Amino acid sequence: MKTNKENFILLTDSYKECHHGQYPEGTENVYSYFESRNGAKYPYTVFFGLQIYLKRYFEGVVVTQEDVEEADTFCKGHFGMDIFNRKMWERIVNVHGGKLPLRIKAAPEGLAVPINNVMVTVETTDPECAPLTNVIETVLTHIWHSSNVATISRDLRVYIQKAFEKSADTLNLLPFMLHCFGFRGVSSVESAGLGGSGHLVNFMGTDTIIAITYAQRYYGAKMVGFSVPATEHSVMTSLGEEGEIEMVDRLIEKYPKGILSVVSDSYNIKRAIKNYGTILKNKILSRDGKFVVRPDSPRFKGDTPCDQIVWIAQELETYFGITFNKKGYKVLNPKVGIIYGDGLSVEEIKESIDSLLYHGYSAETCVYGLGGGLLQRHTRDLQRNAFKCSAQFRNGKWIDVHKTPLDISKTSKKGRLKLVWNKGTLITVPIMDEREDVLQLVFENGIIVKEYNWEEVKKNALIEI
């Protein structure tokens, strides 16, 4: 078995290898769609990441005779019988030159699509390859992850923006209020790239370098993510507990300009902040930049992020002072700040923002970091993403198909579909509807026919629904 690339034929669920023998005779096309079903956590899904998968797995020659032979042998051993669709895959190799005879239409990348609406449609372009549509369902459905992250990130951007509009004089800091710390918190490099780039659709702060690489590689982005010099516990404990203040002093000397983020709870965060505000106060005030306090654990059992954030704000106010902005909210001395990112959830971030405002502080007081909570702590079920067949072409005509189980939330759509604008929102309608289809043809017969650049993705993400 090859180790340098995956065999595309085997990038599917086992049971899909046998479905070609189960469709009714004369089936020449299978039409399927992807959506977020009713019951999703968020009322919309930010559609993002399809272009990455098209470029990584679908574009160009993706099937060879060697792949066919390997898959045939594999399936015989896997199933204990000969059910492999050798005829279809050899046709793809011999007639289509190894390119996939598929037509894929999709919503613009970055667009927030209300749930219960079509985001992708797939059909075949060769009547001899009708089963191919649902064979590729497995790998194509993986876009749930990057879309989830973009959705979670957008939800927080909207929430933070509203808090800024209430309590801050400008929105200048908004793009940096949520920082991605998720690289180590995911299961693979690819997950970090996919999910991390989904976050960058909405914000510009990240420590997940591969996310920037994916945005550059697959969307032609330039430098779209930014970070700052920051410490970790291996640094802060290098001189022992007695030497912690000496280490901070050295860091201030080493980084006289810009933002410097210092993890402050290696030993005693109360003592650390007191040292910042007394022994090191003048040096911090003399820097040409901001000294940022980063807690990395609760102060005591039962401590909450919002309580600790407010406490730190109050401590920094005591030692460094505050001003009041035009909206009457307290703003910390511009020489100091806070970033909190210890195992946060979306809900805890919202609670922390609300708590800061309740105590009179502007929402810009604290930057938030999300790791596993942003890139990993969710599943396909968060937005109830599903890929379903809705029509089949047989005996010269299209036949609508759908399911209506006892769990009506899993009822699927029928027929061929469009996504259209209707009174400021998006709705799904039958293909014969005369309104312009928002879904764009993005892939046909092995060729990506529509690409989105990063600026287009970011612009689409700002469209209100």
User: Domain with 457 in it: what CATH number?
Assistant: 3.20.140.10
The verdict on 231 and 340 lying in the same domain is yes
For residue range 290-321, list pLDDT tens digits in order. Answer: 999 999 999 999 999 999 999 999 999 999 99
- Residue 2 forms part of a structural domain: no
pLDDT score at 2: 46
Q: Domain with 310 in it: what CATH number?
A: 3.20.20.70
Q: Which of 317, 377, 329 is nearest to 353 (CA)?
A: 329
Whether 258 is in a domain gets the answer: yes
Instruction: Choose one of 322, 357, 375: the last residue of a domain.
Output: 375
| Residue ranges in the chain modelled with pLDDT below 50 | 1-3
Mark whether 360 and 392 lie in a shared domain. Answer: no
Of the candidates 329, 344, 375, which is a domain's last residue? 375
Say if residue 393 is in the same domain as residue 371: no
Tally of domains in the chain: 2
SS (H, E, C) the chain: CCCCCCCHHHCCCHHHHHHHHCCCCCEEEEEEEEEECCCCCCCEEECCCHHHHHHHHHCCCCCCHHHHHHHHHHHHHHHCCCCCCHHHHHHHHHCCCCCCCEEEEECCCCCEEECCCEEEEEEECCHHHCCHHHHCHHHHCCHHHHHHHHHHHHHHHHHHHHHHHHHCCCCCCHHHCEEECCHHHCCCHHHHHHHHHHHHCCCCEECCHHHHHHHHHHHCCCCCCECCCECCHHHHCCCCHHHHHHHHHHHHHHCCECCEEEECCCCCHHHHHHHHHCCCHHHHHHCECCEEEECCCCCCCCCCHHHHHHHHHHHHHHHHCEEECCCCCEEECCCEEEEECCCCCHHHHHHHHHHHHHCCECHHHEEEEECHHHHCCCCHHHCCEEEEEEEEEECCEEEECCCCCCCHHHCCCCCCEEEEEECCEEEEEECCCCCCCCCEEEEECCEECCCCCHHHHHHHHCCCC
Q: Confirm whether 1 is domain-assigned.
A: no
Do 352 and 393 fall within a single domain?
Answer: no
- Does this model's pTM top 0.85? My answer is yes
pLDDT of residue 114: 98
Both 237 and 316 in one domain: the answer is: yes
Question: Is 201 inside any structural domain?
Answer: yes
Q: Is residue 3 part of a domain?
A: no
Question: Is 189 a member of any domain?
Answer: yes
Q: Give the model's pLDDT for residue 465.
A: 85
| C-beta of residue 443 within 8 angstroms of C-beta of residue 431 | no
So what's the pLDDT on residue 5?
Answer: 82
Residues 12 and 82 in one domain: yes
33 part of a folded domain: yes
Q: Are residues 157 and 258 in the same domain?
A: yes
Same domain, 152 and 49: no
Q: Which of 317, 342, 375 is the last residue of a domain?
A: 375
Q: Does residue 306 share a domain with residue 186? A: yes
Does 311 fall in a domain?
yes
Whether 363 and 410 map to the same domain: the answer is: no
218 and 321 together in one domain: yes
Residues 93 and 151 in one domain: no
Q: Domain residues for 284?
A: 147-375
Give the model's pLDDT for residue 4. 53
